[in-house]
Amino acid sequence: MKFIVSRDVLYKNLSAISGVLGANSTLPILDNFLFTVEGETLTLMASDLDATMTATVQLTNVEGEGAVAIPSKTILETLKLMPETPLVFDIDIENHTLKFSAANGEYDSSCFPGEEYPAMKTMEAPQSFEIEAPILQRAISKTLFATGNDELRPNMMGVLCELSNENITFVATDAHKLVRYTNTAVKVDDTISFILPKKPITQLKSILSGVNEKIKVEYTTDTHHIRFSFGNIVLFSSLKEGKFPAYQAVIPKENPNKFVVNRKEFHKSICRVGIYSNQSTYQVRVSLSDERTVITAEDLDFSNKAEENITGAYTGETMDIGFNSKFLREMLENLDSEEITLEMSQPNRAALLIPTEQDSPEEDLLMLIMPVMLNY
């Protein structure tokens, strides 16, 4: 089997699908890319069993057809160090050998039978909808950081996607923080929800950057699978099973205490003061009153202490509330607006961070952070 392909095209597509490869795969064959040639089309595949990605590339000067598994690390590292040039592949399927040559070199490697590679699963009678790539990329970007890492609560190790005839909603939480992103540009006839696993949508987020076309999303809730298709790329994944926490119940409805502040200045202040906080709790105190707002942190073990005044508009009762500065900093970094509103009811109740201006009239972004008990 022989074919010619551009180095840039091959490297770009292999890089795009490589993110689903497992670091410690239980099946050695999954440390490889599957190359399948049919007619003048090369299909590249990567998989970790839970998620599979494919990319198709058009070829020239093709001789023969077939499928082989090629070591991913070897070919990626070789192509990364190679300039743009036509690559001539010569693959002996029977003897499991691979040779490819460029203008200034020739490279030989072993390969493996293509039939050993797990096939991509099929979906029977899936439901589907379309979503603009920038909306999907933004929705994932704004929620992904808030997903949990606790394997004892696997239903939090992903992003909830809710579809209705009014909007699409993405929600992520780790029980300490919560993010809800809603967009009315995407609507479906039915009301449905499913949990997107963290790893494949992390990969999806990275390859959607700069893409401006519509993404076709197909899903089956009975077999718990989802497929994203756009351009020459297909991402197929299992969905998380289990029930997502009832997040609506933890979002406070009445928050009479409001602090409007410049997001960047608030973020810088939290970063600076947080350096002096206890490095196991990262606790900072935010003291709010009509006269001034003060952010303080203290670590008695090392005699560290910091205090800053910050300018902002506060309406409400005088109160002191504690936050994990690491979580608060992370949330401020994932907001875009110039100003944000910190809405609170009581020092022991969840607080909301809301951008004063949403990115578009179709979008609604809300972040929630649980307070910490003040110990000084």
Query: How much is the pTM?
Result: 0.93
Counting residues of the chain whose pLDDT is more than 90, the rounded percentage is 91
Comparing CA positions, the residue from 105, 93, 98 lying closest to residue 72 is 98
Query: How crowded is residue 222: how many other Cβ atoms within 10 Å of its Cβ?
Result: 7
Number of domains in the chain: 3
226 in the same domain as 261: no
User: Is 121 part of a structural domain of the chain?
Assistant: no
Beta strands in 281-348 (DSSP E): 283-288, 293-299, 304-310, 312-315, 319-324, 339-344
Segment 50-94, tens digit of pLDDT: 999 999 999 988 999 999 999 999 999 999 999 999 999 999 999
User: Is 311 part of a structural domain of the chain?
Assistant: yes
User: Is 143 part of a structural domain of the chain?
Assistant: yes
244 in the same domain as 273: no
CA quadruple 136, 138, 139, 143: dihedral, nearest 10: 140
User: Is 316 part of a structural domain of the chain?
Assistant: yes
Strands 225-230 and 41-47: unpaired
CA-angle at 129, arms to 38 and 367, nearest 5°: 120
17 in the same domain as 94: yes
User: Is 375 part of a structural domain of the chain?
Assistant: no
Average pLDDT of the residues in 32-41: 97
At 348, list the tokens.
């022991």
DSSP secondary-structure letter at 345?
A: S
63 in the same domain as 143: no
183 in the same domain as 245: yes
In this predicted structure, the answer to whether residue 376 has a pLDDT above a threshold of 70 is: no
Q: Yes or no: say if 339 and 354 are a contact pair by the CB < 8 Å rule.
A: no
- Backbone CA torsion sign across 197, 199, 203, 206: positive
At 87, list the tokens.
């690559």
Question: Which one-letter amino acid corresponds to residue 165?
Answer: N
Average pLDDT of the residues in 143-172: 95
Long-range contacts (CB closer than 8 Å, 24 or more residues apart) made by 203-207: 203/19, 203/20, 203/51, 203/53, 203/235, 204/136, 204/140, 204/228, 204/235, 205/137, 205/140, 205/141, 205/144, 206/19, 207/16, 207/19, 207/233
153 in the same domain as 76: no
Segment 168-211, tens digit of pLDDT: 999 999 999 999 999 999 999 989 999 999 999 999 999 998 89
Counting residues of the chain whose pLDDT is more than 70, the rounded percentage is 100
Segment 202-227, tens digit of pLDDT: 999 999 988 999 999 999 988 899 99
Spatial CB neighbours of 77, under 8 Å, sequence gap ≥ 6: none
Q: Where would I find the H helices in 96-194?
A: 133-143
Q: Which of 116, 144, 165 is the last residue of a domain?
A: 116
Phi and psi at 57, nearest 5°, equal -135, 135
At 278, list the tokens.
């206890």
Q: Rg of the chain over CA atoms, in angstroms?
A: 25
The predicted pLDDT at position 360 comes to 86
Average pLDDT of the residues in 95-114: 93
Comparing CA positions, the residue from 81, 102, 1 lying closest to residue 42 is 1
The predicted pLDDT at position 222 comes to 85
- 46 lies in which domain range? 2-116
User: Is 134 part of a structural domain of the chain?
Assistant: yes
